[in-house]
Structure 1
């Protein structure tokens, strides 16, 4: 006959094991101090346009940033946890979770510093001012400028067909859009010079209007007034590019980068 004391002990052990099996692991908080990147700018510049992660995965790793979509189908603006696609014809749509991404850089945005801005003519003057605000030029930054713009000039590129052309050739078919007196947000990243090829060394900026009807890769702007927000990060995670067989892995030539960005 089974001893009552031993039976009680056995029941306690079984109960403990079952309870442990039913316990769900605590959900890990997202890392808010890391720049998460899909592929490299060097790979993108050489025509590696096939999406490798879905938007839903991108948003698990950041709520603010920029990039593009499978087949280079338009410009991406990631803002406040939503991903917008500025298509080649200028229309703007919020993407579905399963749309795939060949290149992007995002982070969870927590401003380290803010500053009010007024009367800035030209994107180059804006980035020069931002440079003066940065505590170091040797780390990565995400930035936002929300405000009122008397003029904004953007571009987008239509989806490409295989065999994919190099990015410098793809942007020759870009569409350029201009808007006067628009409120919206510049979303940008700034990478240090030693990361050239991993991303664009310096600034890469996109724009989206408050009404979510206008945006794209930012070519130029005139800011009437607004707020600059800067978020620095010194940690970096990258999803490695795919489809690199036969592709030169060297960083993109500076003249090519200039042609692409402008």
Structure 2
């Protein structure tokens, strides 16, 4: 069962995520994160990004690329639609959008986006983890990888005893600022759900182009539920990583609103942290 909460709230304020039996206590393996290197075949060492999170801050939410164009640069990724129309997750070249109902639906090649990350999947097995919260899991992944100053992607496949996701309610032009939209989001709670959490880690020095740290989306195995991950507890699952040594940054230079906007008046870092947290 999915519970929708149409409120802005702190991801960890309820404490619900820690109220589960500690099963699979010994079901962990030593991390191979430090052994994972960029794979150059099929450009799997490249992370392609259209737009930046910074351009969303003042409300530049027009769709400036299509899904069809994005898929030329990879088969795996996350993003959002025009007007922040849902949370996008792409797996195996198929894109799903999670809207304000919490339900996931496939979208076609004409779906437009102001921001998205994508890459050619070549994940390498890292470790197996059980009974671990999202914050601790992410911290251990970074420590094991030793890559706090490197872009990488992580996929977690398994059963989540608890997961909290959100989807921003689609906005109409003239678009509001990002922090205003963050107060108009739907939140969803689900227990004991099998699925895939796909995330990207960005270094602190790139905060603005992306969000520093992890940006993670979820899709259930039955392809009916998902969203932007706010909090979770992994009951048991496997973690896979993919390291990038190249960032391809594509900007919407044909969009006059983007070309003419003065970003010096925007509190980019603070607004991104508030909206993405």
TM superposition score normalised by structure 2:
0.80
1:106 and 2:118 are equivalent in the alignment = yes
The offset of 1:259, in angstroms, is 1.8
Structure 1, gaps ≥5 residues long: 1-28
1:248 and 2:263 are equivalent in the alignment = yes
Q: Deviations over 1:62-120 (max 9, x none)?
A: 11121101111010111121111001121211111111111001111212442111110
Change in CA separation of 1:221 and 1:44 when aligned onto 2, cut-off 3 Å: same
The offset of 1:250, in angstroms, is 7.5
The offset of 1:247, in angstroms, is 3.8
Aligned-pair Cα RMSD in Å: 1.6
Change in CA separation of 1:162 and 1:118 when aligned onto 2, cut-off 3 Å: same
Q: Deviations over 1:121-142 (max 9, x none)?
A: 2x21111111112132221001
- Provide the secondary structure at the position in 1 that maps to 2:183: helix
Match of 2:140 among 117, 129, 132: 129
2:84 maps to 72
TM superposition score normalised by structure 1:
0.84
Larger radius of gyration: 1
1:54 maps to 66
1:36 maps to 48
Change in CA separation of 1:252 and 1:239 when aligned onto 2, cut-off 3 Å: farther
Q: Deviations over 1:33-67 (max 9, x none)?
A: 21000101100122111111111111111111211
Q: Deviations over 1:203-256 (max 9, x none)?
A: 111111001111000000011100111100011112213322234167854432
1:182 and 2:193 are equivalent in the alignment = yes
Change in CA separation of 1:119 and 1:251 when aligned onto 2, cut-off 3 Å: farther
Q: Deviations over 1:173-197 (max 9, x none)?
A: 1000111110001110001111111
Change in CA separation of 1:118 and 1:106 when aligned onto 2, cut-off 3 Å: same
Taking the TM superposition and a 5 Å limit, the aligned residue runs for 1:119-198 are: 119-121=131-133, 123-198=134-209
Distance in 1, matches of 2:50 and 2:61, equals 11
Give the total of aligned pairs.
233
Structure 2, gaps ≥5 residues long: 1-40
State whether residues 58 and 266 of structure 2, in contact with CA within 8 Å, keep that contact through their aligned partners in structure 1: no
1:217 and 2:246 are equivalent in the alignment = no
2:18 maps to none
1:258 and 2:273 are equivalent in the alignment = yes
- Provide the secondary structure at the position in 2 that maps to 1:164: coil
Distance in 2, matches of 1:154 and 1:117, equals 21
Distance in 2, matches of 1:220 and 1:233, equals 25
State whether residues 57 and 266 of structure 2, in contact with CA within 8 Å, keep that contact through their aligned partners in structure 1: no
